[in-house]
Structure 1
């Protein structure tokens, strides 16, 4: 890299400003009402310009970026005007060209628009600084062999011109001194619009605008935050619903809308190359990952649906629910009250419907599906690495990580960190954060805030548990018939009513805490002053994920691993805070309640997320357009149309990743309790892809193009959740479902060879003498003296009264053995699969090596031809002079020798 690139971003403005002053001078033009006299152009009437034009008024210089502001003298108007003047002067010095649209010509009559154009000299300078790879020759490596089954997927394919909008080239980092080497047909189209807006944003984010309180201030982000400018954005190339009449417009937005963003195209593949070309690699890699994740969900959804159908088919033959529903078995078993006050004794057959539905998810197929999902997660992550490696090669991102780490410092870091230190590798002075006592105090405050919010989540979860414990009695008194000891409704029992209402309440609390913590997490990360954009996102990601992990999953962990595990027994129950009695599980197990909890939170989150992502931006944009059209006889220009849209924001993609990763946790951590979770996720993701593409194409301003070679820290989070999912599903099958107790009874305690599971319900319920209650709860109905409860304890007439039986310890040992065996089997298979599948396909590895070799060869030939050309251009006198000098040196060497 040349001298300019080595010096870094700290002196870019001054150096480019010098280049700009030596040229003919930058252009700063102001357009008033009808027309204006521009340098180098004839008189131009604005009314003749298409409203979709993306060029200056001369019709030749492309608009690469737009700034807008409202001149409001009431709110620090003079101070803001001074900032704008200084900022725009520095932009001119950096070589950019500006053109201002007067507020009289805007739709609302009060907004100024500053259009920015980056000329060729600026683009080439910063393309070299940012190490942007540009084409040098068309790729002549033979394409991979076509899939023999390609004809089967024709229905899902898009036209070739949509999937591959440009030829495949060999690329190399751009160099101003080697411009002849690059494939430059037209200077106006050599740099794509996404590359151009990326370069301009790099300048805007580092352009100074003065000093305040002795500190140098710079960057468009600060000017947006303090209200100096109201918006800063690159332009879409046309309207999304029709093509532009201007032949110089690419109409890529229209193509994306018609071929990608419409919901009726949900069965079509995504035009990833076109997405990457229009929005940049960072957004392209997100949609590539989301599409691949959705494809893999199809296989998990099919297997989960088969397991559900198996449970549906075998539901009527389930011996446990048959005995519970039997009038002479379950109808004769009197269960102990589930609370100390206002709860009655109840008959076991009152849970008939719940036990039947529980079998849908608690059967032998549950074990198979838990093991399958452990292997599926590994396949998904390993195959994604291969897909990612292929994209890195195709999108010229193989060597991007080092470039991003070294060059793209955050402007906030450059502003706040003035101390410099020599880099031992490059031997260049670099900005360094100063570790002061004040900074350590800020870090301590940050982590205390994080711990406080996590504690707040735990407190809210405890509040929901207290709600469950306190309202159960109310539901029981309202929903049970004290004369028949049966619930009034066979479908909605007190247990189910409590679970459903508690899940809904918990979901509302989750949404409220999410909204509040997002602001806190961003504030905390800003205080830490991360060095690069990558470091900033990684730190924010870990904070947000840690919070949302606890927020979303804590209630599911409670139902799965704590509810019904620390109950005690009648006469010696355990209490929370010595006041509320701990909850018991249904005689058919707690799995149905975990399924209810998971379904409500997962489905509620997906529905609310789609409303937030699609409906709210549409309503907001509609309202802004409605308010703006007060001056409709004037031109509603391209930049004004985009100004009325929503801003995607620097963290827009972060929230998309976070939403999908939380969903990934639902379908992996607790999938043993709900085999239909992958199917729900699949249907949501099919919609999610089209909703995200629709809102990005139609409802949001065009985001600034940014590079990314992977999904970043999310990959490590997914790997961690994949490992944790094996453990959680093993514990769910062992402790939450009723599978292990049934298997132990089947093989060790059954006495009926013809029907081994008959008598299981009676065996799993212990007997308690009502007279042993310290204070008899409920009302005594009939002449019964004992009641039953779910546990394995000796009866009151045994010498080990109410102590655990040997069967309890057998079941506990079987559960622990099952966990160990299942975890080892799944982990061994996972590691074997990961070892068998290389991260980079052999074909891609070979093509990378081949391209590097050919690129070096092309550069070498270029340097040789350049050297020969220089030698041929020398005069005979220069050659003769060099020959004489060479002979003189040789004679002198002989004399000295």
Structure 2
């Protein structure tokens, strides 16, 4: 086995010919280089350890998903056995070398991928840049029933026919229709519709090539073993230029995003986030306007105790009612928009089509239910232990939060009212929220990984619930304490704690803004450090050329999911809905922060991170449930604030306050539920469109006519005549039946 990797996997720097001006690869895999290279002066130390001969072949088998009968794998397995022959151990470096050589052969011979292999300037990474031809993409699309959109028909002029149906790619159906009409839509290399283009957009190519890759090599195991260092699709700088001018800029912050363009590049999962955030921003304008008006009235009116209800107290009540009902309108409007987007993008039933996560642990074999090769995991007894441990971890960190709050409030209670003590305590509280969120997230990720969820949506939902359950307590517990308990146990500066609650909320907003600015700068700083280190190493090695395009992208940070972005925005939504009446300008501040958040998140995706995988998703997932829960809790919180904390009705008896609170809170709950029922989640046009699409899909792909008369005529479906037919005299039978009936009477 040669040690010099350059003889096995060619370094592109050896080529004299220049690459094409524009060459967009479908997918890039970055492997750690297991070969020692004299030319580069590189010696691999990452795999300098031994593996027992008994486990070597088993370990090697885990790297692949292909059958053991495949020729490339059999040849590699034979070479592994030859290395083991007569030895008790084998170097891990040899296993990785054999894997890399076998993978290259499988990509080229089995998957028929066009593979361009380059070596990093420092010689420590191999870049496998993959492209598939159209014909092979069609084969994979047929194998996995990949959904594509059909061509529209001229006579489809009804509202629910405006979105042409989606259906699984069928190569036979396409070939049949090619003589008369092309079944599927076609696109140019920028994703624009064209009569003579590819049936695949670039995001479709990425998904299909990834599906091909994951069908032959075990990406999760390779990442765990530190063989696969990174994987990402390549950025298209032509489209990034468009985004830079039209999307990231603050010059047009009031305009709607081009959500279709975003979807074509980043996929439905990320696009759903930006569509929801835009929907939330537009909703915030209403409570921002009313909150600013009410806030001016509240702070201008006499806020001290009085025998009659003043203008400020009326505004408190109206604003609490507006926030409680308005939050229901927001989630119902989004649910309808979400269904429309899912219908337009063909992802309404995507849940049943999810593939397994690469990190999912199991034995790769044929699934008896689906008939496909997949990892099968048998649930064991310790799965219950995992759930118990996860719950215990949440309880432990909630206890830490409570202990931190007790310490902060104890410090504030023992500080002088005229000192900076209360302000410092508020600042500590805001910082504590951020720090504990960061620590807990790392632990929650480890726990969720351990629980071994099969699909990405299951994994993300489990992680989201863990994180939000903790962050809800961490973010809001201090505010609940000030709102409902501080006045009783410590006392407040005024007769109620509403102003102190608003002050604490304002501090949280300011600290959050400052920490967010730091968070924005972290990707820039991290990318700068990564490139600085690479350029320093290049200078030390006297390299004559700079980093390649793929190596520059590799040095960008990886954007995992929009989970953190959702969490940050929805925690802010909770501040508005739960405690907004204590600080009426909070929706205005939240609106300002969300406008910044949208542009910053867009900037991160096109400037600071590798291109994300264009994952499919039909909704914002469990987040809509969380939003609805916050909305209902907010209704109770708002009624509690105006009844107990602010006491806008000047009720002196605790019993009267409780009766008033229960009446208002139950009335709001009933009204919110009526609105939820009255405003249907799915628009009628979407329901009709999906039913029509199902019918048309059957007609186009399988020739299944929905019109029963056309079906009868086309297939000559007529009932066969009976050889013998019974004869009846209906008048005689009727007379006899009537006579028998009278006799019985």
TM-score, length basis structure 2: 0.77
The 3-state SS of whatever aligns with 2:338 is: helix
The aligned counterpart of 2:530 is 624
Structure 2 CA distance for partners of 1:84 and 1:859, relative to 1, 3 Å: closer
Residue 587 of structure 2, aligned match among 660, 668, 678:
678
Would you say the 8 A contact 1:621–1:645 is kept in 2?
yes
The aligned counterpart of 2:358 is 411
Structure 2 CA distance for partners of 1:185 and 1:518, relative to 1, 3 Å: closer
State whether structure 2 residue 744 is matched by structure 1 residue 838. no
Deviations 1:1-50 (A, max 9, x none): xxxxxxxxxxxxxxxxxxxxxxxxxxx97354353xxxxxxxxx443643
- CA shift, 1:689, in A, is 0.8
d(CA) in 2 for partners of 1:527, 1:48: 44
Structure 2 CA distance for partners of 1:837 and 1:446, relative to 1, 3 Å: closer
Residue 731 of structure 1, aligned match among 616, 640, 657:
640
Residue 449 of structure 1, aligned match among 393, 399, 407:
393
The 3-state SS of whatever aligns with 2:492 is: coil
Structure 2 CA distance for partners of 1:290 and 1:736, relative to 1, 3 Å: same
Q: Please say which structure displays the higher CA radius of gyration.
A: 1
State whether structure 2 residue 95 is matched by structure 1 residue 95. no
State whether structure 2 residue 140 is matched by structure 1 residue 116. no
Residue 173 of structure 1, aligned match among 168, 172, 184:
168
d(CA) in 2 for partners of 1:390, 1:468: 51
State whether structure 2 residue 23 is matched by structure 1 residue 54. yes
> Any residues of structure 2 matched to 1:234-249 within 5 Å, and which?
234-238=233-237
State whether structure 2 residue 378 is matched by structure 1 residue 434. yes
The aligned counterpart of 2:184 is 183
Would you say the 8 A contact 1:417–1:433 is kept in 2?
yes
> Any residues of structure 2 matched to 1:279-358 within 5 Å, and which?
279-314=266-301, 317-318=302-303, 320=305
State whether structure 2 residue 522 is matched by structure 1 residue 522. no
d(CA) in 1 for partners of 2:103, 2:117: 17
Deviations 1:65-118 (A, max 9, x none): 342535551221525434433444444454042534443xx4556543221122
Residue 708 of structure 1, aligned match among 597, 617, 628:
617
d(CA) in 2 for partners of 1:427, 1:204: 19
Would you say the 8 A contact 1:308–1:676 is kept in 2?
yes
d(CA) in 2 for partners of 1:185, 1:668: 46
State whether structure 2 residue 247 is matched by structure 1 residue 260. yes
Would you say the 8 A contact 1:602–1:666 is kept in 2?
no
The 3-state SS of whatever aligns with 2:13 is: coil
Would you say the 8 A contact 1:54–1:638 is kept in 2?
no
Deviations 1:707-761 (A, max 9, x none): 1000111111111111111111111112222424xx34xxxxxxxxxxxxxxxxx
> Any residues of structure 2 matched to 1:663-702 within 5 Å, and which?
663-702=572-611
Structure 2 CA distance for partners of 1:134 and 1:550, relative to 1, 3 Å: same
d(CA) in 1 for partners of 2:10, 2:151: 41
Segments of 5+ residues of structure 2 without an aligned counterpart are: 1-7, 35-42, 49-92, 178-182, 188-195, 707-745
- CA shift, 1:318, in A, is 4.8
- CA shift, 1:850, in A, is 3.4
Deviations 1:311-337 (A, max 9, x none): 2332xx455499xxxxxxxxxxxxxxx
The aligned counterpart of 1:222 is 221
The 3-state SS of whatever aligns with 2:157 is: coil
The aligned counterpart of 2:62 is none
The 3-state SS of whatever aligns with 1:33 is: helix
CA RMSD after TM alignment: 3.1
The 3-state SS of whatever aligns with 2:32 is: strand
The 3-state SS of whatever aligns with 1:30 is: coil
Deviations 1:509-546 (A, max 9, x none): 22221121111101111111112211111111110111
Would you say the 8 A contact 1:65–1:116 is kept in 2?
yes
d(CA) in 2 for partners of 1:168, 1:846: 11
d(CA) in 1 for partners of 2:197, 2:33: 32
d(CA) in 2 for partners of 1:859, 1:512: 55
d(CA) in 1 for partners of 2:33, 2:273: 35
Deviations 1:539-558 (A, max 9, x none): 11110111111111111111
Structure 2 CA distance for partners of 1:302 and 1:143, relative to 1, 3 Å: farther
Residue 216 of structure 2, aligned match among 170, 183, 207:
207
d(CA) in 2 for partners of 1:633, 1:428: 49
d(CA) in 1 for partners of 2:597, 2:629: 24
The 3-state SS of whatever aligns with 2:468 is: helix
State whether structure 2 residue 356 is matched by structure 1 residue 376. no
Structure 2 CA distance for partners of 1:699 and 1:428, relative to 1, 3 Å: closer
Would you say the 8 A contact 2:167–2:697 is kept in 1?
yes
Structure 2 CA distance for partners of 1:834 and 1:428, relative to 1, 3 Å: same
Would you say the 8 A contact 1:647–1:700 is kept in 2?
yes
- CA shift, 1:467, in A, is 1.9
The aligned counterpart of 1:127 is 141
Would you say the 8 A contact 2:366–2:373 is kept in 1?
yes
d(CA) in 1 for partners of 2:28, 2:163: 28
Moved more, 285-294 or 71-80: 71-80
Segments of 5+ residues of structure 1 without an aligned counterpart are: 1-27, 36-44, 56-61, 146-166, 209-217, 239-250, 323-358, 477-492, 568-582, 745-809, 865-897
Structure 2 CA distance for partners of 1:119 and 1:444, relative to 1, 3 Å: same
- CA shift, 1:643, in A, is 1.7
TM-score, length basis structure 1: 0.65
The 3-state SS of whatever aligns with 1:647 is: coil
Would you say the 8 A contact 2:347–2:618 is kept in 1?
yes
- CA shift, 1:442, in A, is 3.5
Deviations 1:248-302 (A, max 9, x none): xxx2222122111122221221010011100111111111111101111111111
The aligned counterpart of 2:157 is 142
- CA shift, 1:676, in A, is 1.2
State whether structure 2 residue 351 is matched by structure 1 residue 401. yes
d(CA) in 2 for partners of 1:527, 1:382: 35
> Any residues of structure 2 matched to 1:758-837 within 5 Å, and which?
810-837=652-679
Would you say the 8 A contact 1:392–1:709 is kept in 2?
yes
Structure 2 CA distance for partners of 1:204 and 1:654, relative to 1, 3 Å: farther
Structure 2 CA distance for partners of 1:858 and 1:416, relative to 1, 3 Å: closer
Deviations 1:351-406 (A, max 9, x none): xxxxxxxx99x6321111011111101100111111111111111122222223xx
Would you say the 8 A contact 1:70–1:230 is kept in 2?
no
